[in-house]
């Protein structure tokens, strides 16, 4: 039975990943993610249901529009596969628990925000602000069922702490930190805070560490300079993901170095 539900979740992950491609394309432009139906940007032909099956349709069409042979970006199946993989990782880590819906949602919105930030250097309010409400409601599931109101309180305190920290950075260094990052920080604080203060600290630190390492590598290969604007959201999200999965172990390892 577990295998059946796992396979079902993986399939749903592919379908939601396909929808995320629409979100990634339309939200930054302020367009509806519901209407109209997706069309080929070159010939304007509406994409039929048979050509909209996650991953499979792209493979069968050999990455080209059925009507005009315009190349279809490989990013579409990559997003779908990555999203399904993230859902499987969350299931592996949390199991079939009351916490799982919270972290499935985080994986979905986090992937969309990361790709949008890479594309546009923006973190749209249309995704970050509703996430406070969505995550706050989803975390009520384990808070009530387990019950664990202490973790629920820590989640909101973690959101407040990371929001305040990033807000201070944005005020002190506005050219290096945008307010989109500030709003995202509060969202990350929620999902990290539920797991404890040590995870909040690890997640926050890893975001800066990853940003510094990648930024330094890009400068080393002359793909970026000191004044280049590199979107920070993906590093924040990647750091949070690593902290969700291994934050406790990393914190314990750090404490061991002090003893």
How far apart, in whole angstroms, are the C-alpha atoms of residue 87 and residue 85? 5
Query: Counting beta carbons within 10 angstroms of the beta carbon of residue 184, is it exposed (0 to 12), middle (13 to 18) or buried (19 or more)?
Result: buried
How far apart, in whole angstroms, are the C-alpha atoms of residue 85 and residue 133? 25
| Encoded tokens for 67 | 């009507």
Specify whether 178 is located in the same domain as 232.
yes
* pLDDT score of 175 more than 80: no
DSSP code for 46? B
| Cα maximum dimension of the chain | 66
Secondary structure percentages of the chain, helix, strand, coil, to 5: 70, 0, 25
Name the phi and psi angles at 153, rounded to 5. -65, -40
Q: Is residue 92 part of a domain?
A: no
Specify whether 239 is located in the same domain as 168.
yes
3-class DSSP assignment, residue 108: helix
Mean pLDDT along residues 45-70: 88
Supply the range of the domain harboring residue 18: 1-77
Specify whether 120 is located in the same domain as 243.
yes
Query: Counting beta carbons within 10 angstroms of the beta carbon of residue 217, is it exposed (0 to 12), middle (13 to 18) or buried (19 or more)?
Result: exposed
Specify whether 25 is located in the same domain as 123.
no
Specify whether 112 is located in the same domain as 214.
yes
Mean pLDDT along residues 210-238: 85
Specify whether 105 is located in the same domain as 57.
no
Q: What does pTM read for this prediction?
A: 0.94
How far apart, in whole angstroms, are the C-alpha atoms of residue 185 and residue 203? 10
DSSP code for 39? B
Residue 140: count of CB within 10 angstroms of its CB: 14
Specify whether 141 is located in the same domain as 254.
yes
**What does the pLDDT look like over 199-209, one tens digit per residue?**
999 999 999 99
Name the phi and psi angles at 71, rounded to 5. -60, 140
- Count of structural domains within the chain: 2
Specify whether 14 is located in the same domain as 117.
no
Q: Are 192 and 243 in contact (CB under 8 A)?
A: yes
Specify whether 159 is located in the same domain as 115.
yes
Residue 101: count of CB within 10 angstroms of its CB: 18
Q: Are 14 and 84 in contact (CB under 8 A)?
A: yes
Q: Are 6 and 89 in contact (CB under 8 A)?
A: no
Tell me the C-alpha to C-alpha distance, in Å, between residue 192 and each of 44, 151, 223: 43, 10, 32
**What does the pLDDT look like over 223-233, one tens digit per residue?**
776 667 789 99
Q: Is residue 82 part of a domain?
A: no
**181 falls in which pLDDT band (50, 70, 90)?**
very high
Mean pLDDT along residues 140-169: 97
3-class DSSP assignment, residue 54: coil
Specify whether 122 is located in the same domain as 220.
yes
């Amino acid at each position: 039975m577990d295998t059946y539900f796992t396979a079902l979740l993986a399939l749903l992950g592919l379908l939601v990943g396909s929808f995320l491609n629409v979100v990634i394309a339309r939200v930054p432009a302020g367009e509806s993610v519901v209407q109209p139906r997706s069309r080929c940007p070159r010939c304007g032909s509406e994409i039929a249901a048979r050509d909209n099956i996650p991953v499979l349709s792209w493979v069968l069409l050999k990455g080209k529009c059925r009507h005009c042979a315009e190349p279809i970006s490989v990013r579409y199946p990559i997003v779908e596969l990555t999203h399904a993989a993230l859902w499987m990782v969350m299931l592996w880590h949390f199991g079939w628990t009351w916490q799982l819906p919270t972290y499935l949602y985080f994986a979905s919105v986090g992937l969309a925000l990361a790709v949008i930030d890479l594309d546009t250097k923006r973190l749209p309010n249309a995704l970050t602000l509703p996430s406070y409400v969505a995550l706050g409601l989803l975390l009520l599931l384990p808070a009530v069922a387990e019950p664990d109101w202490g973790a629920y309180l820590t989640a909101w305190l973690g959101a407040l702490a990371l929001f305040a920290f990033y807000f201070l950075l944005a005020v002190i260094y506005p050219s290096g930190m945008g307010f989109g990052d500030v709003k995202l920080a509060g969202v990350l604080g929620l999902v990290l805070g539920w797991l404890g203060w040590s995870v909040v600290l690890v997640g926050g630190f890893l975001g800066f560490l990853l940003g510094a390492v990648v930024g330094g590598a890009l400068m080393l290969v002359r793909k970026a300079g000191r004044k280049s604007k590199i979107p920070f959201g993906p590093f924040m999200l990647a750091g949070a993901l690593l902290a969700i999965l291994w934050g406790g172990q990393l914190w314990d390892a750090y404490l061991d170095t002090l003893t």
